Chain A
């Protein structure tokens, strides 16, 4: 493991909301190509960690390094440009845009023509749009959404919406993909397919994945390592088998 490049290095991460400590003293290392699980009971602070990693929230303490780069001064936009992309627990698509355009918004910073070129329809516009269309269609095909390309995102079935969020995040060319409960609301068969899809995406785009999930079958099935949070504190960290047999973890989930 350690001979792989470290994509994410988190040290002593913590955040307070008006005196209430939501997350405290979190350490986390994610390596190139790793699929990593972040689990814990409801209210443990998992999504808060995501919000700090994407700089939607500014952490109160600790450091986040992405491929060695300190993320302290970044905001959500520059954090994405630096290489962090995410999906949301409560789906946040651009509902009135088509599925294809949703993916293309993810390419905002890689499409290079300027405003004038767009208004005057210069050749650079057509070239870049064509490339974007092709890349977006490719992503949609990988995520099994190509037949919906022309549909308004808000009209998609639930499972497809979750996959579209993944496609949109991938369009930003991330190094690290954060998935917030990707299997929520999916049936066992869909979850199976999603697991295969996450692996495929990881291999194809050569990225690392950090995911929050309550579906233990999924977590234990695809995550190489797992971190367990409870009440904002780090409870356990290790391989799936270690986590499954950890007494503290079982206690936190089932209660005493």
Chain B
């Protein structure tokens, strides 16, 4: 019984640490912001940081826990973002309360991205390894191409869609929401740092609770050994689909929040480079390590800004930091040193 208890403690520990960290960071930032010392550059990054954290949590679920490399997370962000913009434009006059509308937008974005994720997972999960990765890359590109040619307008008669060319002839008082290559235009901004903070908490809550359940064990079992998972009665494809759909839904929620932070965003904002950036946050934070993901995302989104004093050299330094980090963290000597340190800490804890 004692053993059971210590096990439970260990499992809940990383969760507690992560939540505590996020809440402390929120309080710290809010106080700092209120003191008036925060530069405009940093404060403008607060909401994007939250968005990338949520997208990275989602991606880590897929890459870290499910073990499938996804090179198209930004595609799901754009699906969520564009959905949110349309919902926002539609309900602007119906729901005057910004918070309710924001919640609605985020839920709509998450559901739509989750749905697209589910559609995509059908072909994607038939493949393995790098072939799977390239198909997610391909879907990211396809989503971007399609959204780049999408026109959506709203007027008294309702929503109007057009594809490829703007054939919408809106009634008077009508408004374009999505205008092809220009992307979302004239969006009413309703994001806030607090909303981002809450979204992070909700995402962590969902991911942690699911991971420490039978579904989470099944997802990790399928990652470690598909054949063995099947022979203990785990349906591999539906398990992997669950991880993939949840991962894309979180990407969608992140994209929705992101979109609501700007008046206009083009689809090309969510390109392959963005997908890769999110993947970098996940890998540097540690596969399957949510605390690490939150920290790595925050640091790496802020890093180029912190390196601003280097002016034009900052992205170069950023690149070098990436390479050096990877080489150091994979160095055998460093690895064995951290491992023995971890063991020591564990012994002390027990």
Instruction: Report which A residues bind B (CB closer than 8 A).
Output: 54, 56, 75-77, 79-81, 85-86, 88, 92-97, 100-101, 104-109, 111, 113, 115, 118-121, 125, 129, 132-134, 137, 146, 149-150, 168-169, 171-172
Contact = CB atoms under 8 A, between A and B. Distances in A.
Given A56-B231, A77-B233, A115-B210, A97 B220 contact: yes
27 contacts: A77-B230, A80-B230, A80-B233, A85-B231, A86-B231, A88-B227, A88-B228, A92-B228, A93-B228, A94-B221, A97-B224, A101-B217, A104-B214, A105-B218, A105-B232, A105-B234, A107-B214, A115-B242, A118-B215, A119-B209, A119-B210, A120-B209, A129-B213, A134-B4, A149-B3, A150-B7, A172-B232
Contacts of A85: 231-232
B228 A108 contact: no
B225 interface: yes
Nearest to B223: A96
Contacts of B242: 115
Which of A77, A85, A93, A169: most chain B Cβ within 10 A? A77
B221 A97 contact: yes
Given A100-B7, A111-B214, A118-B214, A93 B225 contact: yes
Contact of A94 (B3, B4, B224, B235): B224
Nearest to A119: B209
Given A104-B217, A125-B213, A54 B224 contact: no
A97 B214 CA distance: 12
A131 B206 CA distance: 23
A44 B242 CA distance: 40
A20 to B, nearest CB: 22
Contacts of A150: 3, 6-7, 10
Contacts of B209: 118-121
A133 B231 contact: no
Please indicate which of the listed interface residues B4, B10, B224 has the most CB atoms of chain A within 10 Å of its own CB: B224
A94 B234 CA distance: 13
B1 to A, nearest CB: 9
Contacts of B205: 119
B229 interface: yes
Nearest to B346: A150
A168 B218 CA distance: 13
Interface string B1-37: 0011011001000000000000000000000000000
A205 B23 CA distance: 49
Contacts of B234: 77, 105, 108
Interface of B: 3-4, 6-7, 10, 205-206, 209-210, 213-218, 220-221, 223-225, 227-235, 242, 288
B221 A105 contact: yes
Contacts of B228: 88, 92-94
A113 B212 CA distance: 13
B233 A108 contact: yes
A150 B7 CA distance: 7
Contacts of A115: 210, 213, 215, 242
B232 A108 contact: yes
A118 B231 contact: no
Nearest to A112: B214
A97 B231 contact: no
A79 B235 CA distance: 12
Contact of B217 (A97, A119, A125): A97
Contacts of A120: 209
Contacts of B215: 115, 118
A96 B220 contact: yes
Contacts of B223: 96
A56 B227 contact: yes
B73 to A, nearest CB: 21
Contacts of B229: 94, 105
A169 B233 CA distance: 10
A113 B221 contact: no
A168 B228 CA distance: 10
A132 B209 CA distance: 17
A150 B209 CA distance: 19
A64 to B, nearest CB: 15
Nearest to A130: B4
Contacts of A169: 231-232
Contacts of B10: 150
B3 A93 contact: no
A256 B214 CA distance: 54
A95 B224 contact: yes
A93 B213 CA distance: 19
A118 B210 contact: yes
B217 A108 contact: yes
Contacts of A92: 225, 227-228
